Amino acid sequence: MKKIAITGATSGIGLETAKALLEKGNHLIFLIRDIKKGKQMLASMPNAENVQIISCDLAELSSVKKAAEELLKTNDHLDVLINNAGGTFEKRLESKDGLELHFAINHLGHFLLVKELIPLLKKSHTKIINLSSEAHKAGKLDFNDIHLKNKYSTLKAYGNAKLCNVLFTKSLARKGFTSYSLHPGVIDSGFGNNLSGLFRLMWKLGKPFMKSPRQGASTSIYLALNELPKEQNGVYFKNRKPFRSSVDSRNTAIQDKLWEISEKLVTEKLGSNS
């Protein structure tokens, strides 16, 4: 059985992924913001005794660092890390560190988590799975305005964050890690609850055509439990099959620039919080 850490395990795709992995007898580490909710969820989960809960707020870099420290202190092996948590927001919001919230939660929090866990990830040959979206194809990063202070839109912010997930995955593969990104499908869950107006209407109209959270979890579960050919390392998956991601996501210069900026941001923000 595998030891698997997962962010965002208390709702939507993350919850269904966690349930399925527990049903198969795996040991899970929940990296979650709402500890009370997590404990309530465990009451209805199979093999709940196989779960360790660690507090982790991806919108606060100091919380992510503390979570990584606790994980390292309490575990000497990790087979899989699923960076599942995400979110979308209609208005431009900032994290506790002053970062645009899509970028903070969907990308930078997970970037820091991986960075802090590198000794364990290397020792364990951990597989890293990053949830992205087809929306990444609409992403176009402006490194002079990574926090979209000038021309914000929900679609731009979300697309950029999901592009970051694919870029990060490919960077990890180039650096010698095993990593995959994936599109889970458009899911009928609470994901669109933060939207209003036209966006909320469009979300409701699309509900009959959406996958259930369990269906959306299928590719995450597949990647977590199966060994794939080396040539598929760094690849983007849909419906448990490899697909070609966007042109920008395959640009190594953009991959390197995102890594450089991410390193700089976490160093600056953690330094200012210490």
CATH code of 174's domain: 3.40.50.720
Contact 127, 185 (CB under 8 A): no
Q: Give pLDDT, residue 90.
A: 85
Res 189 pLDDT > 60: no
Range of the domain at 64: 3-273
Q: What is the pTM of this model?
A: 0.91
Mean pLDDT for 25-51 is: 94
Domains: count for the chain: 1
Measured CA to CA, the distance from residue 73 to residue 127 in angstroms comes to: 20
236 as an active site residue: the answer is: no
Mean pLDDT of all residues belonging to the chain:
91
Percent of the chain having pLDDT more than 90? 82
Question: What pLDDT band is residue 27 in, cutting at 50, 70 and 90?
Answer: very high
Mean pLDDT for 78-82 is: 98
Range in 12-16, 40-44, 213-217, 266-270 with the lowest mean pLDDT: 213-217
Q: Give pLDDT, residue 44.
A: 86
Contact 131, 158 (CB under 8 A): no
Please give the structure tokens belonging to residue 49: 């005794």
Q: Would you say the C-alpha torsion 129, 72, 109, 95 has a positive or negative sign?
A: positive
Sheet of 178-183: strands edge to edge? 51-55, 27-32, 3-7, 80-83, 127-131, 178-183, 236-238, 241-243
Give per-residue pLDDT as tens, 225-261.
999 999 999 999 999 999 999 999 999 999 999 999 9
Res 66 pLDDT > 60: yes
Selecting among 158, 180, 222, 236, the annotated active-site residue is 158
